[in-house]
Amino acid sequence: MHASAIRQAFLDYFARNAHVVRPSSSLVPGDDPTLLFTNAGMVQFKKIFLGMEDPPDGNRRATTSQKCVRAGGKHNDLEQVGHTARHHTFFEMLGNFSFGDYFKRDAIRFGWEFVTDVLKIPAEHLRVTVYHEDDEARQLWKEVTGIPETRIYGLGAKDNFWQMADTGPCGPCSEIYVDLAHLARDWAFPKDAHGEWTRTDLTDYSLDAFVEGAEAGRFLEIWNLVFMQFDRQADGTMVPLPKPSVDTGAGLERIAAVLSGVTNNYHTALFLPLIERVEKVVGITYPYRPGQGVGTASGPDGREIDPASFRVIADHARAVAFLLADGVFPSNEGRGYVLRRILRRAVRHAWLLGRREPTLVHVVDKVIDMMHDVYPELKVRRKHIIETTKAEEERFLATIGGGLERFESLAPTGSTQGSTSIRGTISGDDAFRLYDTFGFPIDLTELMARERGYLVDIAGFEQSLQAQRLQSQEERRSKKIAVVADDLGDVSQWEHASGDAAHGRFVGYDVTTIETDVAAVRHLADGRLAVMLRESPFYAESGGQVSDRGTIEGAGWRVTVDDVKKIDGRVTAIGTLEGEFHFGAATARVPGSRRRDTERNHTATHLLHAALRKVLGDHVHQAGSVVEPDRLRFDFTHHGPIKPEQLEEIERWVNHAIWESVPVTITEKKYADAVAGGAMALFGEKYGDVVRVVEVPGFSVELCGGTHVKNTGHIAALRIVQEQGVAAGVRRIVALTGPKAFEALRDKERALEGIAEKLKVNVHAAGIDAISKRLDALLGEKKSLEKKLEEALKGSGGGSVVQGIVSAAESVNGARVAIAMTDAEDVDALKTLGDAVREAMPDGVAVLGALTDGKGTLLVVVGDALRAKNVNAGALVKDIAALAGGRGGGKPHMAQAGLGDEEALKVALAGAREIVAKSL
């Protein structure tokens, strides 16, 4: 049975048993900051299991096929991937869940029926484990399934007891194992140092034989039942839950291997087509023979190849495709850093296979082909996935060669055969330089070091990394005043108004000025005060929108607000105190013009996002934004500069939406309903059950908590003033709206008027086109003068500059060599002179110098007769410029270099003859 059939059969079976089929959640946990990635099926139901939410639509049974990644944090299997039969970065977890509905009896029945009746795995080849104190589960297994007592094993808490944390929901586990010795065609008993594995008796049902067989890979777990029946207290007491629940996990890849009759997940239809794609790209055959396992592989040069590299690339292609589809973008932090590590580990393994060009992108393309029917987001974001993967590969390939050279000097190869001794340690500073300069993730450096018998000073690396982070933080802090939440402490320790109740409620969607009361304050350093009002008009920075500024005034005191934070969800304004503070009534005010400008830019950001997707494609996703009163800045995923005509189309699209004067509607909906209705949820943002939907009908729908205009016409206009790349695959647009857009246009008009004045053009009378006409005329005159100059320089009169240089040339090794300082006014004039000298001296080399604004320029030209003898101007100018600490380059017939000043130019010209002579 193919994996796709297994997946569908699982969902269909549980749907027939009154379970609601839920879609896989994103690999980015929507509401769990403790997790890097979704790593189990129960993650999307965590709040339900904790009793914080009710099941959607009241359904207390659910089933899913969940996308999972384990490659960072606690569940980090990255190092094992490719070297074992079952470790993966990306995998699918089949699950069925009961939220206080059925419990152990039905969970056991469902699992057994599916495995034996649907999958048709013979019952006699199954074993079961229970928590050694869970007598109820042991008895139910015998009652419900008829499995003999001899094939039920009681294990300890380490293996068969689950808990979410030190306190809270927990309970015993029960697992189904299959016996691969009976089911796998390629099963072979492992050999130890003394020959065959001692446990060859397939009828030995003892606990010791089971444990040893599981460790040796004979028994494979395919089904895990978690019975959540207790609430562990802080003192360790186990309180029974009023409504016990069930969480089931079954690995699709493992089940596929069992049904394929193999012991290795990589030898199933989930991975073999990907490995075949690797074979095609690298031109090496993966040495797998069905029923026989994996042999050895050789590269084109005859050197032995580690087959694990094929498996690494196949596995990592799946993780990369799905992470990119779910909005994770390669970076140097958090989830993006894990993705970059996965990508670069794959590049390194392709490098080990002899590949020096992008490889993973071809395998990622195959992943999309294979899995887009089940996960349509792969197809929707195909362009983005492919382009980002290729760009990341190219980026690392540009530095991996230099990094490997550096690594060679740090950990030179040498024979380690027969020795377990450590040959040396790579220092933390060196490991950090490999990371910072060449892009080597630290775990890649560790892996390569281990292969050569070296250690890596991880503590030293972390110190260097932390030092860099602290330096960056200090640089940011030096640029603006900022108060972090930790500086504000626990609100319970603040000064509170007597009889204080609820406070810190944001009312700024509706008003910018409000009469209210001060609820609590905290005095900070340098005469600053943190103020929590009962109701606050101040917006705290979130979703890219910056915090409001303004004032809070009471009787005899005033706070100029320059920062706003949320403390425990409550708005707190921070600023400089004037006068003596005391509790009582206060007026809080956000300047109306500032808020209106911010609202213009925020709504315009939504329109810009929609326009980018409209013009460039659905691969565009927000990668960051800043919404300020003066401007908006929008970062988005896209490879390569935007063409001028596209940028103009984007700007026109946004302005069309503005000039249509469309009312902006803001509603609150359930998250699922909002997304189902077409609202765009931004990757990486955390959303609650009820979300705020900001819609510009016909143009844009997004989930957003920011402030917005009531009508698009209030934006007035949008003007894009900058578009540039900020990272691999990430572009940035800076735009202005409203009064700022008008000011930008006036600035350009003033600049044009200034140019017109210098050109003596009256734009008010003749129009702006007159500037272009005048410039065309001047450029024509310039071209004519340059031609006359060139002809003069090529003249044969005895007094010509060219003739003077040529006549001064001396014979060196059968060629003419001229070295001269010239009066050329600029680089173009020097090049024109050089061309003339080259034509007049086809069997010669000329080294010419000129001073322009105090800076030296060196030009080397080589005649055609010498070029035929491989005399190269580019090589000569590099060597000559190096005499004075300069750098240069160019073409074989003409090359130039910049030198600091006249003295440097003299040094270079003085040594030029010797260098030229060596090349002749």
Place of tokens 């007891």: 161
- Evaluate if residue 483 carries a pLDDT over 60: no
Q: What is the pLDDT of residue 287?
A: 86
Among 5-19, 36-50, 376-390, 484-498, name the most confident range: 5-19
Q: Rounded to whole angstroms, how far apart are CA atoms 438 and 455? A: 19
Q: What is the pLDDT of residue 479?
A: 44
- Contact criterion met (CB below 8 Å) for 431 and 460: yes
Q: What is the pLDDT of residue 34?
A: 65
pLDDT in tens, 492-545: 678 888 766 557 889 999 899 999 999 999 998 888 999 999 999 999 998 889
pLDDT in tens, 641-660: 899 999 999 999 999 999 99
Measured CA angle at 712 (ends 707, 715), to 5 deg: 75
pLDDT > 90: percent of the chain: 48
Q: What is the pLDDT of residue 362?
A: 97
Q: Rounded to whole angstroms, how far apart are CA atoms 135 and 131? A: 8
- Evaluate if residue 420 carries a pLDDT over 60: no
Mean pLDDT of 288-292: 72
Mean pLDDT of 784-798: 64
Q: What is the pLDDT of residue 112?
A: 97
pLDDT in tens, 704-759: 999 999 999 999 999 999 999 887 778 999 999 999 999 999 998 888 888 888 88
Q: Rounded to whole angstroms, how far apart are CA atoms 232 and 167? A: 5
Q: What is the pLDDT of residue 476?
A: 47
- Residue 71 has what DSSP assignment? E
Q: What is the pLDDT of residue 489?
A: 67
pLDDT in tens, 11-38: 999 999 999 999 898 898 866 666 788 8
Collect all residues with Cβ–Cβ distance below 8 Å to 99 and sequence separation of at least 6: 45, 48, 49, 55, 60, 61, 62, 243, 245
Q: What is the pLDDT of residue 736?
A: 97
622 forms beta bridges with: 636
Place of tokens 């039905």: 106
Q: Which H/E stretch holds residue 382? A: helix 382-410
Q: What is the pLDDT of residue 472?
A: 61
Sign of the CA dihedral running 601, 602, 606, 612: positive
Q: How many CB atoms lie within 10 A of CB 339?
A: 26
Which pLDDT band, with edges at 50, 70 and 90, does 798 fall under? very low
Q: Which residue from 242, 113, 127, 231 is spatially nearest to 181, judged by alpha carbons?
A: 127
* Cα 623 versus chain centre, distance: 9
Which pLDDT band, with edges at 50, 70 and 90, does 561 fall under? very high
Mean pLDDT of 411-440: 77
Mean pLDDT of 257-276: 93
- Evaluate if residue 691 carries a pLDDT over 80: yes
- Evaluate if residue 801 carries a pLDDT over 50: yes
Q: How many CA atoms lie within 13 A of 391 on its CB side?
A: 19
pLDDT in tens, 194-203: 545 455 567 7
Q: Rounded to whole angstroms, how far apart are CA atoms 485 and 80? A: 39
Q: Which two tokens stand for residue 515?
A: 């009469």
Percent helix, strand and coil across the chain, each to the nearest 5: 40, 25, 30
- Contact criterion met (CB below 8 Å) for 320 and 89: no
Give the full edge-to-edge strand order of the sheet including 855-862.
810-812, 815-821, 844-852, 855-862, 894-899, 887-890
Q: What is the pLDDT of residue 610?
A: 95
Range list of β-strands (E), 555-664: 557-567, 570-579, 585-589, 622-627, 632-637
Q: What is the pLDDT of residue 860?
A: 95
Q: Rounded to whole angstroms, how far apart are CA atoms 705 and 694? A: 8
* SS3 (DSSP) at 743: helix
Query: For residues 688-708, b (16+ Cβ closer than 10 Å) or e, as one string?
Result: eeebbbbbbeebbbbbbbbbb
Mean pLDDT of 399-418: 75
Specify the amino acid at residue 590.
V
pLDDT in tens, 592-638: 999 999 999 999 999 999 999 999 988 888 888 999 999 999 999 88
Q: What is the pLDDT of residue 468?
A: 77
Q: Rounded to whole angstroms, how far apart are CA atoms 637 and 632? A: 17
Q: What is the pLDDT of residue 665?
A: 96
CA-to-CA dists, residue 731 to 37, 322, 328, 607, 641, angstroms: 25, 22, 16, 17, 8
Place of tokens 């450029």: 779
Q: Rounded to whole angstroms, how far apart are CA atoms 552 and 540? A: 15
Which pLDDT band, with edges at 50, 70 and 90, does 799 fall under? very low
- Evaluate if residue 166 carries a pLDDT over 80: no
Mean pLDDT of all residues in the chain? 87
pLDDT in tens, 133-142: 999 999 999 9
Q: Rounded to whole angstroms, how far apart are CA atoms 79 and 72? A: 11
Q: Which two tokens stand for residue 823?
A: 């009066």
* Cα 139 versus chain centre, distance: 50
Mean pLDDT of 231-239: 86
3-state secondary structure 323-380: HHHCCCCCCCCHHHHHHHHHHHHHHHHHHHCCCCCCCHHHHHHHHHHHHCCCCCHHHH
Mean pLDDT of 694-698: 95
Q: Which residue from 802, 795, 799 is spatially nearest to 822, judged by alpha carbons?
A: 802
